[in-house]
Amino acid sequence: MTHVVVIGAGQAGSSLVAKLRNSGFDGRITLIGAEAVPPYQRPPLSKAYLLGDMVLERLFLRPQSFYAEHDIDLRLNQHVSAIDPAARTVTVNGEVLSYDHLVLTTGSTPRRLPASIGGALDGVFVVRDLLDVDTMAPHVQQGRRALIVGGGYIGLEAAAVAAKRGLSVTLVEMADRILQRVAAPQTSDYFRALHQSHGVTIHEGVGLDRLLGDRHVTGARFTDGTELPFDLVIVGVGIAPATALAEAAGIAIENGIRTDAQGRTSDPAIWAAGDCASFPWRGQRIRLESVPHAIDQAECVAENIMGAAKEYAAKPWFWSDQYDVKLQIAGLNTGYDRTIVRPGEKAGSQSVWYFSGNELLAVDAMNDPRAYMIGKRLIESGQSPAAEDIANPDIPLKSLLPA
């Protein structure tokens, strides 16, 4: 009987095993997770769950009973110590399991501050999994002083939640502006103004020199010499693909676990999907960090395990919730050389359209779902309207869609 072993019980792993069963796969399936709870949604962790608006069970992607009902051996709180590609085995909590197909959906790990600058002090947190948030939650209390390190989407979302909980929030970003790596200056300006309107203090072009304190963090010194007191620190300086297991097994690594267009790694019996995997896309190799991608790529791999020989056609889209603003992003803006800002129909809404020459690459839509949906359809169909038409608010966006 064919045995599929999946390492990593997150969004990608859960989606993959469900797709296998729903597609008629009748072999053995083993899903191995390092955490003690069944696969769950991560985006609400730092928002609705931390705010107390969502209970634990509502985080679960599927009821725990789903796995037994579909004859999926869900192994929780278990650690995979080694993969042996030659023998086609994995070692799990000392037990050796054989596989016919192995899928790596190991996700990513948050980058932490070095211990040499205070990263190991009590009161310093990252936001990645349930344990992180459960550990941090008692410290996120009204009136306390929070430092957010990092002005990307992770840091900004953390700042928004802390501000909503009534903390005094300071955010520090080493780059010249927040969101510099991922967004145009106009999008940065929008979110800077949004956070400042909620009382968040933002320092750009200033790095963290070190955190202060003996055992628990008491403050921070910045690269401009400023020292400020803080009660807790939330670190949002990015994530790295979890590739250690694959690397130790001799699997090719290239900004993540390198896969072909079908999701197969350098070993023909081993596949990868989700945050941990890099794959070919439009003449380049990319790695995407988003829930829709994790689901879509994992389901494609499931189909290919069953023989579909299907190439994964990524349709990049992302979102971020901050205060009462929903940011929706369609496409990838890599290589843009100009942007167009278009006001939305509602007060405070707008969209930023990214072009490379005359080609539309991506759209950032802030509380503007119409711009997002139309931009997404244009990008996915390979259509690029004239930038002048996007810039003209008298031309309805819908009229730009192909007939």
One DSSP character per residue, 34-77 reads SSSS--B-STTIIIIITTTSS-HHHHBSS-THHHHHTTEEEE-S
Q: What mean pLDDT do residues 215-228 have?
A: 97
For range 90-98, the mean pLDDT: 97
For residue 403, pLDDT over 80 is answered with: no
Three-class DSSP labels, 26-42: CCEEEEECCCCCCCECC
Q: Which pLDDT score is estimated for 47?
A: 85
Asked whether the beta carbons of 280 and 98 are under 8 A apart, the reply is no
Give residue limits of the domains in the chain.
Answer: 3-109+239-305, 112-235, 324-400
Which pLDDT belongs to residue 227? 97
- Is the per-residue pLDDT at 400 higher than 80? yes
Taking a C-beta distance cutoff of 8 angstroms, is the pair 239, 249 a contact?
Answer: no
Reply yes or no on whether the pLDDT at 181 is more than 90: yes
Q: Which helix (H) or strand (E) holds 163?
A: helix 153-164
Of the two residues 1 and 298, the one the predictor is more confident about is 298
What's the pTM?
Answer: 0.95
The predicted-structure confidence for 313-327, as pLDDT tens digits, reads as follows 999 999 999 999 999
Q: Which CATH number fits domain 3-109+239-305: 3.40.50.10540, 1.10.3720.10, 3.50.50.60, 3.30.230.10?
A: 3.50.50.60
Mean pLDDT, rounded, for 235-247:
96
Give the mean model confidence (pLDDT) for residues 52-66: 93
pLDDT tens readout for residues 287-310: 999 999 999 999 999 999 999 999
- Give the CATH fold of the 324-400 domain: Enolase-like; domain 1 (3.30.390)
Answer positive or negative: Cα dihedral of 63, 68, 74, 77.
Answer: positive
- The arrangement of secondary structure in 112-235, i.e. its CATH architecture, is 3-Layer(bba) Sandwich (3.50)
Query: Percent of the chain, pLDDT > 90?
Result: 96
Same fold, 112-235 and 324-400: no
- Average pLDDT for 106-128: 96
What is the structure's pLDDT at 13? 98
The total of other beta-carbon atoms located within 10 Å of residue 241's CB is: 22
Mean per-residue pLDDT over the chain, rounded:
96
Please report which confidence band the pLDDT of residue 46 belongs to, taking 50, 70 and 90 as the band edges.
confident
In this prediction, residue 88 carries a pLDDT of 98
Paired with 353 in beta bridges are: 340, 363
Mean pLDDT of 32-59: 92
pLDDT at 51: 85
Question: By percentage, how much of the chain surpasses pLDDT 70?
Answer: 100
- Calpha distance 58→43 (Å, rounded): 12
Q: Is 382 helix (H, G, I), strand (E, B) or coil?
A: coil
Higher pLDDT among residues 345 and 108, named by residue: 108
> Which pLDDT value is given to residue 58?
94
